[in-house]
Amino acid sequence: MVSYKVDFEPVGRRGECQAEQSILDCSRKLGVGIVSICGGEGLFFCCKIQILSGTVSEPTSIEKKHFSSQELEEGHRLACQTYPTSNLKIRVPAESLEAPQRTQVEGMEIEVSPEPPVRTFKVKLKPPSLSDLRADSERLLESLESKNLISSGSIIDIDVLRNLSSLLRSCDWEVKVSVRDNEIVAISTGSSRQLGLAVDVGTTKVAGYLIDLDSGKTLANKGVMNHQISYGEDVISRMASAKRKPEEAVRMKELGVEVLNELASDLSATVKARPEDIVEAVVVGNTAMHHLLLHLPVGQLALSPYIPVINEAMDIKARDAGLQIAAGSYIHMLPNIAGFVGGDHVAMLLATEAWKAEDVVLALDIGTNTEVCLVSNGEMTSVSCASGPAFEGAHIKNGMRAASGAIEHLRIIDDKVEYQTIGEVPPVGLCGSGILDSLAQLYLTGVVDESGRMNNDHPRVRPYGKSREFVLVGEEERNGDPAITITQHDVRELQLAKGAIRAGIQLLLEDKGLNQSDIDRVIIAGAFGTYIDISSALTIGMLPVLPVDRFQQVGNAAGMGAKLALISKSKRVEAQEIARRVSYIELASDPRFTQMFAQANYLGLYKIIKGRREKIK
């Protein structure tokens, strides 16, 4: 088998690439985080790399479509289409790298009195002697029982047992034990802390929180990319991968767990603790993330009628999921609601307390999948809208993650474009909120009409292939680098994304016989939702037209919900009640949706009543 040496820069990862292995596959094996939108099918502008030295396979027709001949000459290629024919040095441009980027971990803090599922006690035991030959396990349990700290018949986890005898003898028979229900899930020396880990596993980003279980305080938090992203940016392409090849499902599980272990290790290090000090974890995620992480099959989840393996909340041993925290500890997985509405939605409803609302509340978590819940009259109904990764910057010609150099806000004044970038450095692309602003501005300046068609009469509009594009930042401003533009195709992508969300909202309203003006509050959760300009979102017709003060941007509410479930047993009970009470409407099988969607694609301010769009001046 012929193989070549490859060197990925600027990340500096080196390794072997086999002749029949694409650069993308090789980068996955080497752990180089190259963004791949469609699971390696080369359908969109993704996984861009530049060959700095060495020879590779001829450009494919897909690449010829994406790159100019000059770009191809300069070595610009798609990693999924390119195979090595010699040793290589490869540059991975910033927009193709998964990290670093801004991720969202913050959300509103909710005060709740801690009622942790794991309690920790310090005990000092009498050492064994010839007149007291009790086994170490019985000695410990009987001591705890005599103080009424555990109930009779309690047990010690096998992995805790494996460490018990040496620990007791090394610290003079004085230890801390962590008890969960009637089981000892951890033992440690007296100085250790009692930590918990809450994680919100998003399709794109993963947010982790390290919590002091006794006080309920957040000690540290961190946002990282979901490593599974190299198998596709949306849940559909990842499930397709997992279904196609069992080993890809295994690899995705490993990548998922890898992120969790990284968070456990990094977060505990920031407070000078060890991952073994984490005695309980709570994980929330959409149903696909939930299944892929636990290595549950997704074949039946990806096909109508989209059936999950399990919706109920689960308590599984951390070791059975590959999570390396305290020896006998558990992961609590919040319940799912349906195939496309998972525990993250439950967590969001829990944290925002939307589920207890007495007014009419619309609660959205905008992401690659957007879940929307309408709360009215004490009833909850949810839908999941396949909004796609456009707002994450994918499928958009100059889209990128919310990383340094991304345009995050933008205004068009006459023929000038004013913008603001993350890190206040020269622009390299557009992140979600910048994309949203661009579309709103194009509509407001009349460059794009309500149907999404781009006119020809603005000086910044120019031909792009057989279509058009609007130049936001020209080549001359970028010292000859390619311009940053919004193409007609980008506009169409954005219409599909925002249309899916709006149609979902309209269907929920119609289902309850409500008008958009009946909505008292709109809660917008999620990283993207935090940074968007609500007026832009209204301008493009993504959200129902309501006074701006009815909108509430709450940050990562799913993460906050995970934290609540981590520190409070009552909150877990509430989460189960939420999951049981939410009704779910499957959009794909609802005939009303197609009609709504056709209307919801339009830009501008309007309401939709009984499937008819009515403009609002």
Number of CB atoms found within 10 A of residue 536's CB: 24
Shortest Å distance, C-beta 190 to a copy of itself? 20
8 Å CB contact between 114 and 567: yes
Q: What six digits make up the tokens of 294?
A: 């636990």
Footprint of a copy of itself (CB under 8 A): 128-130, 133-138, 155-156, 158-159, 161-162, 164-166, 169, 294-297, 299-300, 304-312, 314, 316, 319-321, 336, 338-339, 584, 586, 589
Which of 328, 504 has the CB closer to a copy of itself? 328
- Measured between alpha carbons, how far is 286 from 337 in angstroms, rounded to an integer? 9
Name which of 113 and 129 has its Cβ closer to a copy of itself. 129
Backbone angles phi, psi at 182, to 5 degrees: -110, 35
- Give min distance, CB of 130 to a copy of itself, in A: 5
Nearest distance, CB of residue 370 and a copy of itself, angstroms? 20
Question: Least distance from C-beta 298 to a copy of itself, angstroms?
Answer: 9
| Shorter beta-carbon distance to a copy of itself: residue 317 or 492 | 317
- Amino acid 242 reads A
Nearer to a copy of itself, 171 or 309 (CB): 309
| Of 185 and 542, CB closest to a copy of itself | 185
Q: Which of 216, 193, 196, 192 is nearest to 208 (CA)?
A: 196
**In the complex, what is the shortest distance from the CB of residue 117 to a copy of itself, in angstroms, rounded to a whole number?**
16
Contact 35, 96 (CB under 8 A): yes
Sequence-distant (6+) residues with CB within 8 A of 203 are 226, 233, 234, 235, 238, 286, 288, 289, 367, 368, 369, 389
**Dihedral sign of CA atoms 416, 434, 431, 233 in order:** negative
Which residue is listed with tokens 């781009």? 454
How far apart are CB 319 and a copy of itself at their closest, in Å? 8
Closer by beta carbon to a copy of itself, 156 or else 483: 156
Q: Which two tokens stand for residue 64?
A: 């010829």
Nearer to a copy of itself, 92 or 327 (CB): 327
Instruction: Name the residue with tokens 């009498």.
Output: 126
Distance CA 590, CA 347 (A): 26
Q: Which is nearer to a copy of itself, 214 or 590 (CB)?
A: 590
The least distance separating a copy of itself from the CB of residue 293, rounded to whole angstroms, comes to: 12
Q: How many Å separate Cα 539 from the centre of its chain?
A: 26
Smallest CA-to-CA distance from 330 within 440, 456, 184, 464 is with 184
Strand 521-525 vs strand 551-555: parallel, antiparallel, or unpaired?
parallel
Q: How far is the CB of 580 from a copy of itself (least distance, A)?
A: 11
Q: Are 369 and 314 in contact (CB under 8 A)?
A: no
Nearer to a copy of itself, 80 or 331 (CB): 331
One-letter amino acid for residue 421 of the chain: T
Q: What's the min distance (Å) between Cβ of 181 and a copy of itself? A: 13
